[in-house]
Amino acid sequence: MTSPALQQATAVGAVDGPLAGYHREWYVVRPEGELTRLGRVKIGEPRQGALWFDRRYFASEDELLLELARLGVPRVPPVHRVHSTGTVFHGFIEGRTLAALSPCGRPVAPVHLRQIMERFASLSRLRPGDVRARRLTVGERGGERDSAGFPRVLLDFTRERAYRARLPRFGPLFARLGIPPDALGPGSRLAAEAARMSARPVCLLHGDLHRANFIVDHADALWTIDWELASFGDPLYDLATHLYLMGYPASQQARVVEEWQRTVAPLLPGADARLAEDLPRYLDYKRAQSVFTDVVRQAVAVADAVDSPAFAGQLGQSAKLVHDVLVRAAEPLELSDVPSPGAVELAYADFCAGSDLRAASTDRRSGPDSR
């Protein structure tokens, strides 16, 4: 069955896609007729069965991007709407991802690092009252006015939606990997650290600033894509998420923190309050969050490879990734013993032999998953 996005794409021009988007199914199109002037564009729709592990705040990425354009935020994808058909296009940014130019673990070029700081500056200027894009319900977003409560909102979401909601299917795997059932509970180390966090002024956060979400165009300008995790909240959380996802070399990471402080603090006084104490706390949360994300995602990846020649390779790759994530999260999750890569591989192989993991793969392909 052809998806609505592909139907729309083929109706307006030659399709170059699809793109490998995680949360959306994207098609790149060269429009014909009166839309030729737009150049290449993207048409997308939510990907069925995509696994979400982060809070959604805005009801529509399209609406947010239109608001950012209205507010003069530079180098974000333009959004075009054909009123006669209701079709919505995102401008396709011609260039290469920063991940392709500077893979994870390598330094980012000074010209690109400067533009990353410019992105943080543009975010720090936007307050909740500035952006008119529709929000989700208060219960879904939280923390908009109270940055001191923002870490608790994040932790509660991860506990309820990324962990407890998945226990019926993945509980045996979590237990086999040694993850304590109360690792995110009120008496946990992470909860105690969240309660010690300081209040900071709230601003717009991108929420997913990593190398694949930066596009370097032919003029060496850095564009920011994929705003689906944007929200209002503690600016220090956006920095922590960026550091965790970017994989800067240690020497450059220290400079990034200094540049962020020098850039953001004058624009948003108080944004760097107790940075030395609270940034490590947010980084610990990101390490813990990744465990619940990657255990499930890798389970689905292994399930997808069952009965195929790729199974053994996928099993080994997933085991190594999950082992590394567990090692990084051992302290914040208070893990008494991290299983070896071989033990992780055996846990996935044993779990895969049952029906639960196969059902997880089927669910992912056939129906939506809520964040």
Phi, psi of 121 (to 5 degrees): -65, -45
Q: Could you tell me the mean pLDDT of each successive run of 10 residues in the chain, 371 residues long?
A: 76 77 78 83 75 86 96 96 76 96 97 98 97 78 71 94 93 96 95 96 97 97 96 97 98 97 98 98 98 95 94 97 98 96 97 63 38 31
Buried b or exposed e, range 191-216, using 16+ CB within 10 angstroms: bebbeebbebebbbbbbbbbbbbbbb
pLDDT at 48: 65
Domain ranges across the chain:
1-50, 54-76+95-364
Contacts of 344 (CB under 8 A, 6+ apart): 177, 319, 320, 322, 323, 326
Length reported for the chain: 371
Phi, psi of 62 (to 5 degrees): -60, -45
pLDDT at 91: 92
- The CA angle 308-325-58, to the nearest 5 degrees, is 90
pLDDT at 169: 92
Entry pTM: 0.91
Asked if CATH classification 3.90.1200 holds for the domain at 54-76+95-364, the reply, yes or no, is yes
pLDDT at 144: 66
Among candidates 324, 228, 234, 323, which has minimal Cα distance to 281? 234
Reduced to 3 states (helix: H, G, I; strand: E, B; else coil), residue 41 is strand
Sign of CA dihedral 273, 276, 277, 278: positive
